[in-house]
Structure 1
Amino acid sequence: MAAKANKRILLIVLGGFLLSVGACKGQQESESAETEVKQAKPVTPTAYQSNIFNESSYGVPVDHYVELFYPGQVSHWIRALAVDQKGYLWMGTNHYGVARHDGTQLQYFNEKDGLGDDRVNKIIVDPQGVVWIATAGGVTKYEEGVFRNYTIKDGLADDGVYGMYLDKSGRLWFGTNQGVSYMENGKIYPFEVPKPQVENPEPSLSDNGVGDIFQDSKGQFWFSFDGHGITIYDGEEFRFLTTADGLQDNKAGGFYEDSEGGIWISSMLGGISRYANGTFEHFTKDGTVDGVETSGVYEDTQGDLWFAAEHQGVYRYDGKNFELFNEEDGLVSQGIIAFYEDDQGRFWLGGWKGLFRFEREAEKEGKTSFVAVTQDGGPWD
């Protein structure tokens, strides 16, 4: 019994560490897109995984010994969120592929259904209603009930895809473990982006990894390199931002441009900053907010800016003040990494411990403003 208990503790600690640093599943050789066209099959949603060794038949599809924290938890990690043209909510998980709620039923889709890999990093719905899913095993397209996966055999720089962005021209960009690719008119092309040169970059996953891609209002492209800082491309020239230029951390993460043209930059070790007119404003390093690992910068329909701070909660910025939300407000996770407010006014948050909702009416009434979304109980409407 002691040996089993020790094994369980070791698995939990190791699993938590790997998740916290964004460790990915080892690359697996993918078949070509021609052989990976599969019809999506509904997977019956289930209830609570009540046993850490998964001896129960209940729970999300499980193959990892990681405990769930409350009845009906959708997944251990929700890494990406999107809503398609039918109003269906798509959720990218860390180990179980994608989950989708169609307003009535919760379904799970994974590699057996045609997904490139069960680790999902980003989801985008294009103007034609096609769902694009960036995975650790390629980019998967979902259209009319069919999954089709694209890999290095189709032109991707690498099968490990972590950043994905749809630009103003309709091109789909991919940030991978080995650089950048883009898709135009159904074909994938390489795009050489020089990375900044820094001393001791210490990448988390890959020395050539690109974690996020963004196009600002001036048409410039921003690329975040794993441990190397940021490359900016204006269509003719490349320029760089690193800690030597004032960047808060060379492990820069996501980007967001506010209404005044300022670029908000999250990071792994330097917190949150804003870059405008060649100058940085460091909110974390200046002590305005806490939490060095930040992510998920997002603007809601009311014009407030949100971002997550690991081990702190989530912040809301109204242009003047930062407000922190955490357990006291019903947000039981301090590992949020994704935000999405849909056309129905539903405000979703995803991260460690699953899926959550921010309820504006409850906040106005002075009630608990965050709620955990469960498989059967929702709230889904």
Structure 2
Amino acid sequence: MKYIQVYALLLTVVFNTSCKQRQTNAPKDNISAETKDSISIYGPNSMVRNVKQDRKGNILIAASFGGILRYDGKSFTNLTSKLGSRRFWDVLEDRKGNLWFSSTDSGVYCYNGKSFQHFTTREGLASNAVMSVYEDRAGFIWFGTTGGASRYDGKSFRNFTTKQGLSNNGINVILEDKNGKLWFGTRGNACFYDGKTFTVFKNKDGKAFHNVWGITEDKKGHIWFGATTIEDRKGDTLIVKAGLWHYDGRAFTKINQKGTSAIIEDKKGNIWTTGAVNPNGVGAWTLSRYDQNSLYNKKPAVAEIMSIQKMLCGILEANDGSIWFGSLNGVYRYDGKTITDFKNKGGQN
């Protein structure tokens, strides 16, 4: 199927993976971490898809082919150097202090600081291509995969797919709102789950939201997300438009027609996004800040913090208020005045 004016992440890969609908006990598959971690003063040169922070304040970086890196303010430690070449996509520290690493080619790894436990479809994961990791308020770990959503309770997996009502098996991002509703950004129609039923959410024109990668909930409980809507069909060609959307619990409002790949709200209430200026994803990508004082106006005030002719990805506000964001070629930090690029300009980590 052809697309016109499609906002799409440039490095999206189509995975042909089987989707297994079953709940399976996960045996222990431990990998010893005897090899010393690789340490460098430089950050990764490869694509950084997501950036998180652990309870100690360290920055956790998921670099596609560069591994999972931990930055302590002085140096970068590669926590996955003993796992070999993997295509890492997301990272999460759960409430117990375990680190979860998702990959798009070999499932997920759980690291307790001493050893790794590896989970794949063999243990019950819906697919070995895992795009996101999320912990809900009940302590369940959710994995957004290309074969559906997998929920892990510490012992076994339960998978949710189109057979259970999920709108699309390709899951990009997961969010639990303050009411306990789970929102799933998918490569097809986006939907939410109330614990019993999956519901596709639509705008006032009855159009569903497609290809959602970034989603967040603000202090008022409003949902912000980037998506495309199908405006027309011409044979096998879809005419779609991109945009940043705001949902106040009653209505969906389109803020602009820019592409959006990641969204967060900072401590002051500002909304930050990364995305392409051109809805088709070609050309400049920007890090933007929507001012909290005008956030609920028809046209919120927006400041363009950085523009680059390369893809920008996940965003994090660190404990010190600095903004970290990933890109096609490494990770950046913005301290309110200066943008720091941690790459080794010689190209070696």
Q: Indicate the TM-score class for this superposition, using the shorter chain for normalisation.
A: 0.7 to 0.9
Report the counterpart of residue 163 of structure 1 in structure 2.
132
**Partner residue in 2 for 1:146:** 115
SS of the residue 2:179 aligns to: coil
Give the fraction of aligned pairs with identical amino acids, expressed as a percent.
23
As a proportion of its length, which structure holds more strand? 2
Q: What is the 5 A alignment of 1:325-344?
A: 325-327=304-306, 332=308, 334-344=310-320
1:19 offset after TM fit, Å? Answer: 7.3
Gaps of 5+ in 1: 1-17, 47-71, 197-206, 286-290, 363-368, 377-381
SS state at 1:113 partner:
helix
1:141-171 Cα shifts (integer Å, max 9, x gaps): 1112322211111110111111221101011
> Does the alignment pair 1:347 with 2:337?
no
Calculate the TM-score normalised by the size of structure 2.
0.77
Out of 155, 159, 179, the residue aligned to residue 218 of structure 1 is 179
The one-letter amino acid paired with 2:193 is: Y
The answer to whether the 8 Å contact 1:76/1:352 transfers is yes
1:321-371 deviation per Cα after TM superposition (whole angstroms, max 9, x unaligned): 3323255xxx656522111122233321112221111112x3xxxxxx322
Cross-structure match for 1:93: 63
The structure whose residues are more often helix, as a share, is 1
Match of 1:231 in 2: 191
**C-alpha spacing 1:134/1:33, structure 2 compared with 1 (3 Å):** farther
Q: CA 1:132 to 1:35, structure 2 compared with 1: closer, same or farther past 3 Å?
A: closer
Q: Deviations over 1:90-119 (max 9, x none)?
A: 211122221222344322244x6237x622
- Change beyond 3 A, Cα 1:252–1:332: closer
Matches within 5 A, 1:35-54: 35-39=29-33, 41-45=36-40
For residue 78 of structure 1, the aligned residue among 29, 40, 48 is 48
1:261 and 2:204 matched: no
- Per-residue CA deviations over 1:22-78 (Å, capped at 9, x if unaligned) read 2278879xxx964551305312437xxxxxxxxxxxxxxxxxxxxxxxxx5622311
Q: Does the 8 A contact of 1:98 with 1:118 survive in 2?
A: no
Q: Residue in 2 aligned with 1:58?
A: none
Task: Provide the alpha-carbon RMSD of the alignment.
Answer: 2.9
Task: Determine the structure 2 residue equivalent to 1:300.
Answer: 266
User: Given residue 190 of structure 2, which amino acid in structure 1 is its aligned partner?
Assistant: I
Aligned to 1:270: 242
Distance 2:194 2:132 in 1: 19
Q: Does 1:121 align with 2:89?
A: yes
1:23 aligns with 2:13: yes
The higher-RCO structure (CA 8 Å, 6+ apart) is 2
Q: 1:130 aligns with which of 85, 95, 98?
A: 98
- SS of the aligned residue for 1:164 comes to strand
Residues 1:208 and 2:169 are matched in the alignment: yes
CA distance in 2, matches of 1:212, 1:313: 20
> Retained in 1: the 8 A contact 2:285–2:310?
yes
CA contact (8 A) 1:152 1:159 kept: yes
- How many residues are treated as equivalent by the alignment? 301
Specify the alignment match of 1:323 in structure 2: 302
SS at match of 1:281: strand
- 2:286 equivalent to 1:313: yes
Query: What's 1:279 paired with?
Result: 251
Cα separation, partners in 2 of 1:218 and 1:225, compared to 1, 3 Å? same
Alpha-carbon distance in structure 1 between the residues aligned to 2:132 and 2:175: 9
Q: Call closer, same or farther: CA 1:375–1:343 in 2, change over 3 Å.
A: farther
| CA deviations over 1:274-324 (Å, ceiling 9, x no partner) | 122342111124xxxxx3x21211011222110112224111112313323
TM-score (norm 1): 0.71
